Each structure stands twice: as structure tokens, then as C-alpha cells.
Amino acid sequence: MSARILLVDDEKLIRWSLRERLMADGHQVFEAEDIASALRLLKAQPADLALIDLKLPDGDGIQLMRQGLRLRPDMTVLIITAHSSVQNAVEAIKAGAYDYVSKPFDMDELSLTVRRALENQEMRRTLSAEIDQKKKRFGVVSLIGDSDKFRAIKDVVCRVAASDSTTVLLLGPTGSGKDMIARAIHYESARVEKPFMNITCTAMPETLIESELFGYEEGAFTNATGQKAGLFELAHNGTVFLDEIGDMPPNLQAKLLRVLEEKTFRRIGGTADIHVDCRVVAATNRDLARIIEEGKFREDLYYRLSTVPILVPPLRERASDIPQLAQHFLEAYERKLGRTYTGFSEAALEKLLNHPWPGNVRELRNVIERAVLLSPGETIEARDVVLGRIENPAATRHPVVLPPGGLKLSEVERSLVEQALERTEGNQTQAAALLGITRDQVRYKLEKFHIATD
């Protein structure tokens, strides 16, 4: 790996020996004998790495390092020190140096340290590029809309993201974009390098939600053949998004409250407390005040979750955002489906603006996807914008429609089992929940229909 290296030492012989070795390793080297000349060089050209002596004629190396990093924040610094000054080198590492090398030099060790420093720098640059990519995809710039209501939401997202400890409650109808807002809070925060873990509290049975959130110890229950970490443990220093929190079972609400208040929990079957530091973002489309009165949701948990409540309006209340959202989805599906359009006709836009959007942003996205798939022209016309529910008259009374020629009941049953396993990526417990049967019944049907599992 070739790099641009700034070498700063007031001893000419040391600079010469280091330069020869570094150039032999394939690096480009430029030299300075003091702080002033080193800063002039850094202002004139970038450096990937700087080797800086602790003792310089016009100051110390830590002073130069700090000034140099202000000029070149991506630069990696190695400190040169005598054996008698190792403690000072440790202080330099605390101040921002990657590592130190000691005089007299072991040139092989020096080469290895430089290589490791550059590899670490490359990893950091790759990670930084990945984070920038994720911010573009999931950060506040991904929240499309300039209406007054939505601008206010984006402002709160930025403020909350800057706060490390705030718990957030997102309130709004299904399809309004609560999941996007939760991700934006995470990807705009200092926790961006850590995991974003999410779970929908209505998608699984209570026992499965508990094991997903908190994990379990080996032998905690039947089929617990090993230890498993839960979402909170996996999201340490990151973010946990609890969607549809209003449907969380009452006994799990108590465990969640403990996590929020004490930042500790126990795995199922465990006896040791596990400490976690993660932001919790919860969301619901339900009226929490009503279900608190009904005794289905803990009032103390509500107040703990709603440190910062964000009210996400339905799409009809921010109709001025519809053209911008529609254009955003059009461009996204053009890229995905390999189509090109000039845009929307006036009649198509008027049709979009006049629709009440009961399914909110999600419904708009689906309408645009369908239009891109089916529109024959270069412009999305009003005829391409299909609104409202599309019902199959033959399917209004029955979830499965019997073809005119009939079919075998066993084939339908086998197909449904295979679809459930496909949708849950082979998770038999979740497949059973989708089908409204037990896991043992799923296993029986796997044997009955000779369905192979991995």
C-alpha cells in the first residue's frame, strides 16, 4: 500500500534513514525539521500519514499533531520517541496519535507499524464512506417533504439525533413513514456506526417476542439448545426500534420499563444482569391514552417512552408534499425497473392531490410503482394512476378462490405451508403464527407433505 508520508524530525541522519526505508517500501516521503516547516508542507499538500518526533526545536510533537489534524483530519499520526519518553508517547496516543515508534529504530518493526496504521486508516475511510452512503439512504435527507408540518418533524429529528439519551415515541397512522423517521434519528446520531435493530410487536407470539428482545440461555425452554443474544444486547450503543408498541403484551411492558430505567435486563432463563446502552424509538398507530384507560398499556411506560413525542401526520394533512413524494418514488422505480418518464401530466398530479390517501405514504408509493410498471407512454397520465382498493369480485367472500375445474385440498394446504416458511425464512414458529396453528402442527405437515427444510 503506497502512501504520502510526512516525516518530521530535526536530526538529518534520522530523517535520511527513515526516508530510505519508507521509500523502499513504496511510499512517497516529504520531510520537515520543525513545526513551522511541517505546517507549511501540510497546507500545500495532503499527507496520509505523519511520523512526528516528540521533541522539535520550536515546540513538541503533540502540538504539531493537533495543528496538523486540524489541517488534515484524515491524516494518521505516528509519534517518534526515545525509550525514556514512552509515557509522553502514551499521552500522545490519548491526544489522537495512532501509535508510537521508539528510537533506536527496528526498521522491520517500523515498516509493520506504518503498514498497520495505513490499513487502519483505509478501514476507517471505507467505514466513513459506508456511513455517508447510509446517511444518504436513511438519514434526514431521505425524509421527503417541505410542508410546514414535515419541516418541523425533520427539525425535531435532527435535535433528537444530537441528544444521546433521549427516548422517542412516534405517533401516527399506518403507512405515514414512522419507520423512516426512526431510521433517520439513528443515522443522524453519533450511534450511526452501531446497529439499528427493529422488531414489530404484533408480528410474533408473546414468547417469541420476548426471546427476540432479550435472548435466552441454553436450556431455558424446549429447543433452547444454545445461548442466544436478543435485540437489546445486539444493539448495544445503537438503536432499537419497537414498532407497534401499543400491541406489546403487558408482562413484556414491565421488562421494557426496566431496560429504559436501569439499562439492564436478563436473558430468558438467565440470572446475570446484562447492561446495555441503546436509544429506544417506539412507534404506534393506536390511541395509547385509550388503551391505558383499558388497562392494556402501562401508564409509567408511556411516560418513560414519550420523552420526545413526534406526531407524524397522515398524508392528507401534508398534501403539498405529494408532488415531491410522487417524483421521488417515480425516480426510484425508474432506476429499479429500467424505465424512463418525463414526469406526471397535470391531470395525473391533480388526481394524486385530490385523493384522500387512507394508506398514506405507503399507498402513494404503491400507486407510483404500479403506474411505472403499467404505463405505456413517456408520461404518467391520469389513466395510469389507479387509486383505491382493487378487489377481485370472486374473492370478496372467500380468502381462497376455487377454480372452475376444482383443485385438491392437500395441494392448497401444502402450498400455504411452503409460502409461510418462505416468508419467515424457514422459521417454523413464525410460520405457525402466520397459519394460526402450532409449531408441532407445522412439523407434522412438513412430514406429511415431505417438505424439505435446511
- Residue 396 confidence (pLDDT): 54
Alpha-carbon distances of 48 from 5, 65, 108, rounded to whole Å: 6, 13, 20
The CATH number covering residue 444 comes to 1.10.10.60
Do 324 and 284 share a structural domain? no
In a domain, 110, yes or no: yes
Residues 215 and 326 in one domain: no
Same domain (yes/no): 111, 160: no
pLDDT recorded at residue 357: 93
| For residue 314, pLDDT beyond 60 | yes
pLDDT, one tens digit per residue, over 414-446 is 888 888 888 887 888 888 888 888 888 888 888
pLDDT of residue 37: 94
Do 148 and 297 lie in one domain? The reply is yes
What's the gap between Cα 27 and its chain centre?
A: 37
Domain boundary, last residue among 294, 311, 328: 311
Average pLDDT score, the chain: 89
| Domain-located, residue 216 | yes
Question: Are both 299 and 319 inside the same structural domain?
Answer: no
Percent of the chain having pLDDT more than 90? 63
Q: Are 268 and 221 in contact (CB under 8 A)?
A: yes
Quote the pLDDT of residue 425: 77
Model pLDDT, residue 395: 52
Q: Domain containing 64: what range?
A: 4-131
Cell numbers at 70, concatenated: 486540524
Of 131, 152, 170, the last residue of a domain is: 131
pLDDT at res. 260: 93
The tally of domains found in the chain comes to 4
| 171 to 149, 199, 249: CA distances (angstroms) | 14, 16, 19
Nearest to 371 by CA among 393, 356, 359, 387: 387
Report pLDDT digits (tens) over 36-52: 999 999 999 999 999 99
Domain for residue 368, yes or no? yes
CATH number of domain containing 174: 3.40.50.300
Cα-to-chain-centroid distance, residue 231: 13
Q: Is there a domain that residue 57 lies in? A: yes
Distance CA 229, CA 175 (A): 30
Residue 54 neighbours by CB distance under 10 Å: 22
pLDDT of residue 84: 55
pLDDT in tens, 352-378: 999 999 999 999 999 999 999 888 889
Band (pLDDT 50/70/90 cuts) for residue 157 is very high
Predicted confidence (pLDDT) per residue in 110-141, tens digit: 999 999 999 999 988 888 888 888 888 899 99
Is there a single domain that holds both residue 237 and residue 331?
no
- At residue 443, the pLDDT reads 85
Residues 329, 270 share a domain? no
Give the helix ranges, DSSP H, for 72-220.
Answer: 86-95, 107-138, 148-162, 178-187, 206-214
pLDDT tier for residue 83 given thresholds of 50, 70 and 90: low
Position 332: which residue type?
A
Question: What percentage of residues in the chain have a pLDDT greater than 70?
Answer: 95
* 335 shares a domain with 307: no
372 part of a folded domain: yes
Residue 329 has pLDDT above 60, yes or no: yes
Residue 399: the pLDDT is 65
Confirm if 71 and 42 have CB atoms less than 8 A apart.
yes
Instruction: Look at residue 203 in the predicted model and tell me its pLDDT.
Output: 66
Dihedral angle over CA of 293, 297, 299, 304, nearest 10 = -150
In a domain, 398, yes or no: no
- Give the residue with greater pLDDT, 174 vs 453: 174
Q: Is residue 159 domain-resident?
A: yes
Least confident of 142-156, 197-211, 235-249, 252-266: 197-211
Cell of 274: 446484562
Task: Read off the pLDDT band of 401 (50, 70, 90).
Answer: low
Dihedral of CA atoms 417, 422, 428, 431 in degrees, nearest 10, equals -60
Task: Please tell me the predicted confidence (pLDDT) of residue 92.
Answer: 84
Residue among 21, 210, 219 at smallest CA distance from 112: 21
Same domain, 17 and 126: yes
What's the confidence (pLDDT) of residue 405? 65
Which of 111, 131, 151 is the C-terminal boundary of a domain? 131
Digit-coded pLDDT (tens) for 255-302: 999 999 999 999 999 889 999 999 999 999 999 999 999 999 999 999
DSSP secondary structure string, 216-260?
B-TTSSTT--S-B--HHHHTTTSEEEEETGGGS-HHHHHHHHHHH
Q: The CATH number of the domain where 332 resides is what?
A: 1.10.8.60
Domain membership flag for residue 394: no
d(CA 30, CA 46): 11
Domain match, 127 and 154 both:
no
Identify the sign of the CA torsion 248, 251, 255, 260.
Answer: positive
- 302 with 320, same domain? no
Cβ atoms within 10 Å, residue 297 = 23
Instruction: Give pTM, 2 decimals.
Output: 0.70
pLDDT category of residue 393 using cuts at 50, 70 and 90: low
Q: What is the pLDDT of residue 274?
A: 93
Do 212 and 108 lie in a common domain?
no
Per the model's pLDDT, the better-predicted residue between 1 and 214 turns out to be 214
Residue 26 and residue 38 in contact, taking contact as beta carbons nearer than 8 Å: no
Mean pLDDT across 225-232: 90
